[in-house]
Structure 1
Amino acid sequence: DYYFAVLDAVLERVPELHVHAFSPMEVVNGATRMGISIREWLEEAKRRGLGSIPGTAAEILDDDIRWVLTKGKLPTAQWIEVVTTAHEVGLRSSSTMMYGHVDEPRHWVAHLKLLRELQERTGGFTEFVPLPFVHQLAPIYLAGVARPGSTWEDDRRVHAVARLLLQGAIDHVQLSWVKVGLERGVDLLRGGCDDLGGTLMEETISRMAGSAHGVRKSVEELEAAAGQAGRPVRQRTTLYGEVGALR
């Protein structure tokens, strides 16, 4: 399988690397192409050295909304199956929500409540990352189906409500500076978030949709943003372990 070949090649070259890879959509694709179950695919990926998976492709966990966004490519039940199975075999994941398109606030709350329920069952989510819809070049917006993204008030509410609804279950709420920019990220650090995300080195999805906040930040830029928010800063591992001195 191509995914396993990539995983093998990476770990052969850098065996100490924590590989955080393969979205639920890719897991389903890989399992389908190999003719095995999702559990078997994830177990084999873990055996080969996969460390964790991104909880992307969640969009809004409501099939009416998902049908408009993806035409049913990954139903809610299948997304849940992938992430809960990953947790059961010992692979933790992030969790996400893309909002500001054809959804409403009631969908945000239902999505967050569902994530909390899953976390109380498996304990496998490392963080929650709200992802404002970048509309400028998105086909669904250009076709007149989606609204022009979230408002700034929407963003502040979603991040703050996520902290309240997930408190005691998912400990970390991460902002996406690629989506909102570092300047607004400072405000979000004061209103529910405790994670600025990574420095990155390449990002294509948001950029292709029209985001203009860049694809790379230095450690110094992230430290400065945290300082503006009056928050202490530390580097973490993918699974929120201690790293020590900033690298």
Structure 2
Amino acid sequence: MSSWLRAAAEDPAGLPDDGYVALLGADGEELEELAALADSVRRRTVGDELTVVVNRNLDPALVVKPEHLDALVDEAWSLGATEVCLQGPLPDEAGPDAAVELVARITARAPLHVHAFRPAEVEAAAARRGSSVEAFLTAARAAGLGSVPGTAARILDDAVRTTLTGGSDIPAARWVELIRTAHRVGLRSTATILYGHVETAAQQVAHLRALAAVQDDTGGFSELIAMPLVDVPPGVAARGATARETRALHAVARLLLHGRIDHLQAAWPKLDRDTVLAVLRGGADDLGGVLLDGVLDPGAGPEAGRVLTAADVHDIAGALDRPVRQRTTLYGEVEPERVTV
């Protein structure tokens, strides 16, 4: 372990797979050393700012409730949001070009960044309108789509994906192809890894390598979000992610992706506060979105009821002794009059 730590200090992204696999097993003093190394790489890469975006989740089913959609968009804008996120299926009764129309209606209503449509939903939207994926994404971008969530990546290994979803998931190669297509038409995306279930450390490293290969070719990933499996599917013997594994994975991701993906998000809706602080001291630099609920429809979105307030953000930043910066979706500067955190 000590030799791999020394090698990583010299060249964070230069270890062979077995080196990163070994580091994923770090514990005790070696875990503390790994976290400190990852944090030093974070500091050199992006500085000490703790970043956060003000956003809210919306349900794509709102495409058939346009007046309610308008009201929620107005509310999001009035509450200071700069982003809305849409993930989930379109309703069956929606028209063939519903996804494009949904984006166009939102962006005509307010200058919000629309972060929408996971890879499988991109494929479904293209099929609905009878076009290629590239044509759909091009049309959606023209309507105002700003970026796509790189979620449902799980682990990019078909055997693991089949175990987790019973074969209902798109193949790993198709997920990669869809993300590459989004990048090719000029859209950025997040990158994700879901851990703490049936995957091995070697499969975690292979997944990060696959993301690195996409980034080398497209440069389209804006950040990595590492998320533990929380809702275990029936019949899946998931081991559950420990705090030790969470810390080691975030640290290794910071090292392996150094020079490729600058930002590493602490997935606060899926981690307790102590673990959020630990990963932010061990390679992560971002808190993601605050997930505004509002009052018109506080149940909207898959993470309803989980809101990060401005006070929460500053409390976390204070514990870390780091400054807060409200960012745009793509890590740009927010206009001063729109800063609420």
TM over 0.5: yes
| Residue 183 of structure 2: aligned partner | 87
Which of residues 35, 38, 44 is equivalent to 2:139?
Answer: 44
Report the secondary structure of 2:286's partner residue.
coil
* Counterpart check, 1:98 vs 2:189: no
Alpha-carbon displacement from aligned partner over 1:120-156 (angstroms, at most 9, x marks no partner): 1100000000010104xx333xx2x232421111100
Q: Which has the higher contact order (CA 8 A, sep 6+)?
A: 2
Which deviates the most, 176-185 or 151-160?
Answer: 176-185
Q: Deviations over 1:62-109 (max 9, x none)?
A: 111111122142111111111111111110000001111111111111
Asked whether the 8 Å contact 2:291–2:308 carries over to 1, the reply is yes
Q: Does 1:139 align with 2:230?
A: no
Paired residue secondary structure (1:234): strand
CA deviation string 1:168-200 (max 9, x = no partner): 100000011100023321111100100011211
CA distance in structure 1 between the partners assigned to 2:239 and 2:163 by the alignment: 15
Identify the residue that residue 109 of structure 2 maps to in structure 1: 13
CA distance in 1, matches of 2:277, 2:325: 16
Paired with 1:82 and 1:69, the residues of 2 have a C-alpha distance of 20
Alignment counterpart, residue 116 of structure 1, candidates 186, 191, 212: 212
1:179 aligns to 2:275 (yes or no)? no
In structure 2, what is the equivalent of residue 197 of structure 1?
288
Determine if contact 1:120/1:169 at 8 Å carries over to the other structure: yes
SS of 1:20 mapped into structure 2: strand
Residue 245 of structure 2 is aligned to residue 149 of structure 1: no
Equivalent of 2:258 in 156, 167, 187: 167
Deviation of 1:165 after TM superposition, in Å, equals 0.4
Taking structure 1 as the reference length, the TM-score comes to: 0.90
- The separation in 1 between residues aligned to 2:188 and 2:223, in whole angstroms, is 10
Check if 1:63 corresponds to 2:158: yes
Alpha-carbon distance in structure 2 between the residues aligned to 1:46 and 1:206? 25
| Structure number with bigger Rg | 2
| CA RMSD, 1 decimal | 1.6
Q: In the alignment, is the contact (CA less than 8 A) between 1:235 and 1:244 conserved in 2?
A: no
Q: Secondary structure of the equivalent of 1:139?
A: coil
The residue that corresponds to 1:211 in the other structure is: none
Counterparts of 2:301 and 2:106, CA distance in 1: 21
> Runs of 5+ in structure 1 lacking a partner?
208-213
Report the secondary structure of 2:224's partner residue.
strand
- Equivalent residue in structure 1 for 2:119, among 24, 35, 43: 24
Q: Could you tell me the TM-score, scaled by structure 2's length? A: 0.66
Alignment check: 8 A CA contact 1:189 1:226 kept: no
Query: Residue 179 of structure 1 contacts residue 206 of structure 1 at CA under 8 Å; is this kept in 2?
Result: no
Select the residue among 98, 102, 126 that pairs with 1:2.
98
Separation (CA, whole Å) in 1 of partners of 2:248 and 2:302:
24
Cross-structure match for 1:127: 223
Percentage identity across paired residues of the two chains: 47
User: 1:242 is aligned with what amino acid?
Assistant: E
Residue type at the aligned position of 1:85: T
TM superposition shift of 1:218: 0.6
Match for 2:173 among 77, 80, 104? 77
